[in-house]
A = this chain, B = another copy of it.
């Protein structure tokens, strides 16, 4: 839009004395701050009068070679006139001067733009008026020098320390140490000195004309919109440049003009606990920044607050009972109006209360839950609103042990926050020893390794927490740790492990085997020694809230669980079934790995079948345990997926042990390992490819599944519908080949038990070709489960284990908005998921669709899964509550929320 077209718009929006031209809905035009000031004014809250120059002016400014639209000038003057009338003073008036603040304000809060300029309108003439009004010459000159300093810095770009050094010099010269000791005359001298500094630095006079000051500040706000820092911030957050910023011009009020003045901040409820308790701090004769800065000890606003912190300082309720009453009325009014806990700033000037700002208050997760539940019970908000108020990711804080925030800690190093929670333990460097110390000596241990592999699972399970020096947040260690609910810090490259010495070093600090460390998987920090932790407590509010959440969502939430233990934890967190049970994790447990290795080393099918017979009863037992825990809920079991070489040790010592335990030679073991070696195991001989070359493996697994199910159905009257999942299918013929064999086994087992079960056979969709030909695959598959981890790897051509070298740089350079292994990449991977859903339903309208990748626990990804109408999502047990909440929110956002209107309070 050019400046000509722009004439038809209203450029400037007045607010003051109960009337405002804007309101809270106009954030895009007035910015967040401007809209809220207008809204408060409208509902009768005492707000210092002012006006907002709209964001469209900013846009026009940039379209018009950095010049203001010509018709802006008289409109600003007109609005200023309205402010003068309401505030009963005059801008630039020597007797009764109106002073202004100028602030930027975009539609979202955005660092990097212009700081506030206060006290605008002061000059050598108007200062006299301020002295007379305030009766405090020192206050007036202090205000004046603050103005010159702020304006010089913020508007005229003079380095801050130029002014600070001048003050320091004055203190040195006069032998003073505190600002409070500086006299009125000294401040007056500094005003003159500051102006000289500005002259030196900018080559121009400091503007004395208040109108010049105002226009300078307005332009500075507009220019700050395109500051590199602001641009960078927008780029990172994906905010477009054409939003523009508004400018808020507001009359000054002073909390530091005497003892009938004060300033404070307050919350309508306790932001730490969520308790319904008005809470805040104030200071007599002070400015806003004094409360925050901590130079003077702030006083409590309420008597209750005074009692809680056991303070001797008088509460505002005692000192200013009338104004306190007004403040209480206002906070109630604002909370009712905004229907959320408010964080307010106020100033009292000469016994008159002004509200300078209100906004929804930041709070802890615990408080967020309590406030949401209380407000529903108070009838203030609906359940749906309550649900939308809590950030799903923040729930994680409630599910894991946390560090005691009051405890001291010595941070050794920081890696990636790979799996949340805090834990302390003795450092151990091998999985076997971790298990041994934990089980036999009942020690708490932290397993520290360069990286983990499936062979370390037992040690990871035995440990309280895991540290790796390599690998990202989706490395083996991270994924498995999240699944087990163990805290994990991954990719901590500062940790240099010396296996020979059984120690690790961080710079020059050496930590030896058996030394205590504490890790915080929510921050990635590794600390020396034992730092106290707190156990999570799922309060009644949590249960009530999650109940509403479950009423609201359309998506079912299942869990990825490989053991009865995992299944039990997940049920406690509300999982409605298992979306992914990885059978290979069972292969590592206890003695069965020996039989598995015997199978892999067998020379022919007969040898493999012999070994598989030994594994059969163990797998059947596993499945029985899992079915038992998940009684009544669906269980999807994935047949063997990883390449066989993952089951054989790659070091000579391990291979020797294998050879000994199987009665074969090291040479034979080595030869087989060599045969199984792959350049790109991710794209190698795994998944259904194993099932096709060694059908007997899948046959054994299906037999174990069906025997376990039939037994429970027959003997204990369970209801079980096993879902057998074939991994890594890329071609319908693979699935057809394997399905035929699976069905044969299923029918045989059912016949032998005399139990007619319903069972489903389906597939993972985790290769691009599977999604591209989902219409063909759906002819054979009764369900699809999108394996978005592998689908991301193949679609983007990025190995998640190797992405460490560049993915942070990619996110930093904004090539990726987010790590695609954390949040589903929608244009490419999402396009394939959508295609898979559409094509699958085309062939088989009732096909069951789910997702079992890491993305199943990511709220942003869950929004996408709602949009493509999956039936369920599946994630690790500890992410189940997060997924439940996210599922409810996306159902509401996408108009799929099940909760009925009548049910609202």
Contact = CB atoms under 8 A, between A and B. Distances in A.
Interface of A: 678-685, 689, 692-693, 728, 730-731, 733-734, 737, 766-769, 772-773, 776, 790, 793-799, 801-802, 805-806, 809-810, 813-816, 825, 827-829, 831-832
6 contacts: A692-B813, A692-B815, A733-B815, A776-B827, A794-B795, A794-B797
Contact of A773 (B737, B797, B828): B828
A692 B806 CA distance: 9
Given A730-B828, A733-B815, A794-B797, 19 more contacts: A679-B681, A679-B682, A680-B680, A680-B683, A682-B683, A685-B805, A685-B806, A689-B805, A692-B810, A693-B806, A731-B828, A733-B813, A737-B813, A737-B815, A767-B795, A768-B794, A768-B797, A772-B831, A776-B827
Contacts of A772: 795, 827-828, 831-832
A799 B692 contact: no
B730 A796 contact: yes
A571 to B, nearest CB: 33
B832 A680 contact: no
B679 A767 contact: no
A768 B795 contact: yes
Contacts of A828: 730-731, 768-769, 772-773
Contacts of A816: 731
Contacts of A799: 678-680, 682-684
A863 to B, nearest CB: 20
Nearest to A450: B674
A728 B831 CA distance: 19
Contacts of A796: 730, 767-769
Nearest to A766: B797
A832 B768 contact: yes
A267 to B, nearest CB: 42
A827 B773 contact: yes
Nearest to A475: B679
Contact of A802 (B683, B769, B776, B814): B683
A692 B805 CA distance: 11
A730 B678 CA distance: 25
B767 A802 contact: no
Contact of A678 (B689, B737, B802): B802
A825 B768 CA distance: 13
A824 to B, nearest CB: 13
A683 B768 contact: no
A799 B728 CA distance: 13
Contact of A801 (B680, B692, B797, B832): B680
Contacts of A810: 689, 692
Nearest to A831: B772
In this complex, the member of A799, A801, A814, A816 whose beta carbon has the largest number of chain B beta carbons within 10 angstroms is A799
Contact of A680 (B685, B802, B805): B802
Contacts of A806: 685, 689, 692-693
In this complex, the member of A769, A772, A809 whose beta carbon has the largest number of chain B beta carbons within 10 angstroms is A769
A752 B818 CA distance: 41
A843 to B, nearest CB: 14
Given A679-B682, A769-B829, A814 B728 contact: no
A768 B806 CA distance: 20
B797 A767 contact: yes
B802 A684 contact: yes
A677 to B, nearest CB: 9
A402 to B, nearest CB: 33
A794 B802 CA distance: 16
Contacts of A678: 799, 801-802
A480 to B, nearest CB: 16
A685 B815 contact: no
A683 B797 contact: yes
Contacts of A825: 769
A202 B798 CA distance: 65
A263 to B, nearest CB: 47
A500 to B, nearest CB: 15
Nearest to A792: B769
Given A681-B680, A683-B682, A684-B802, A769 B790 contact: no
A809 B679 contact: no
Nearest to A767: B797
Contacts of A689: 805-806, 810
Contacts of A693: 805-806, 809
B768 A733 contact: no
Nearest to A471: B679
A680 B776 CA distance: 29
A679 B772 CA distance: 27
B730 A797 contact: yes
A403 to B, nearest CB: 32
Nearest to A815: B733
A889 B799 CA distance: 40
A728 B679 contact: no
Nearest to A805: B685
Contact of A797 (B728, B815, B832): B728
A301 to B, nearest CB: 50
A788 to B, nearest CB: 13
Contacts of A767: 795-797
A772 B768 CA distance: 10
Contacts of A795: 767-769, 772, 794
A681 B803 CA distance: 10
Contact of A733 (B728, B809, B814): B814
A802 B731 contact: no
B802 A797 contact: no
A552 to B, nearest CB: 33
Contacts of A827: 769, 772-773, 776
Contacts of A802: 678-681, 683-685
Nearest to A675: B805
A832 B689 CA distance: 23
Contacts of A814: 733
A828 B839 CA distance: 13
A546 to B, nearest CB: 37
Contacts of A680: 680-683, 799, 801-802
A682 B683 CA distance: 9
A679 B797 CA distance: 13
A45 to B, nearest CB: 45
Contacts of A829: 769
Contacts of A734: 815
A813 B733 CA distance: 9
In this complex, the member of A734, A772, A806, A810 whose beta carbon has the largest number of chain B beta carbons within 10 angstroms is A772
